């Protein structure tokens, strides 16, 4: 079956992209840039739009957490993007399922700490977010950034 929609199909599959990146700062930076580029290609929104900035920020935070807290030497993290009817879903999968994600209220970052607030930003920019372990070897943290109504898709 090709990726093109046929007239017999009632609904086309959601646009999706999934790639692996090295668990390094460079890998996280590339994931952020790719997420914005793919989002703007799917929607036609400008890369400097508010929604594209939100996609960049959420992707950067999730990728940063994956390389900081979910990294095993020699293992990559996976970025998956799905364009949903009213949001873009950003998923970052790492190789440390035994390290659960703590909700922002459970974090104990002091007011002068240099880190520890990333998930607060994700909470502010994402409509909803969460995490799940789909198997014994990985953990996926996901967030859905709302897309303005009437935005072209695909």
- Domain locations along the chain: 16-98+117-146
What is the pTM (predicted TM-score) of this model? Answer: 0.82
Q: Which residue has the higher pLDDT, 130 or 113?
A: 130
pLDDT score of 105? 57
Q: How confident is the model at residue 69 (pLDDT cuts 50, 70, 90)?
A: confident
Are the C-beta atoms of residues 152 and 43 closer than 8 Å to each other?
A: yes
Token pair 């900035």 in the structure block, residue: 53
- SS3 assignment for the chain: CCCCCCCCCCCCCCCEEEEEECCCHHHHHHHHHHHHHHHHHHHCCCCCCHHHHHHHHHHHHHHHHHHHHCCCCCCCEEEEEEECCCEEEEEEEECCCCCCCCCHHHCCCCCCCCCCCHHHHHHHHCCEEEEECCCCCCEEEEEEEECCCCCCCC
CA distance 58 to 75: 22
Q: Which long-range contacts (CB under 8 A, 24 or more apart) does 124-129 make?
A: 125/54, 125/57, 125/58, 126/54, 126/58, 127/87
CATH architecture of the domain formed by 16-98+117-146: 2-Layer Sandwich (3.30)
CA distance 120 to 16: 26
Is the predicted pLDDT of residue 117 greater than 90, yes or no?
A: no
pLDDT by residue (tens digit) across 5-64?
Answer: 334 455 666 789 999 999 999 999 999 999 999 999 999 999 999 999 999 999 999 999
pLDDT score of 50? 95
* Residue 48 token pair: 């400097």
pLDDT by residue (tens digit) across 71-107?
Answer: 677 789 999 999 999 999 999 999 887 777 777 654 4
């Amino acid at each position: 079956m090709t990726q093109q929609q046929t007239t017999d199909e009632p609904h086309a599959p959601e646009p999706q992209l999934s790639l692996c990146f090295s668990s390094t700062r460079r890998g996280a930076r590339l994931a952020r840039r790719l997420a914005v580029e793919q989002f703007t290609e799917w929607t036609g929104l400008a890369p400097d739009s508010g929604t594209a900035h939100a996609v960049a920020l959420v992707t950067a935070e999730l990728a940063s957490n994956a390389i900081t807290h979910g990294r095993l030497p020699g293992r990559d993290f996976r970025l998956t993007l799905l364009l949903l009817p009213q949001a873009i879903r950003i998923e970052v999968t790492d190789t440390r399922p035994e390290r659960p994600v703590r909700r922002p209220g459970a974090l104990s970052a002091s007011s002068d700490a240099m880190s520890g607030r990333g998930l607060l930003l994700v909470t502010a920019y994402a409509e909803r977010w969460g995490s799940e372990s789909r198997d014994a070897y990985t953990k996926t943290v996901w967030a859905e950034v709302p897309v303005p109504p009437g935005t072209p898709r695909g």
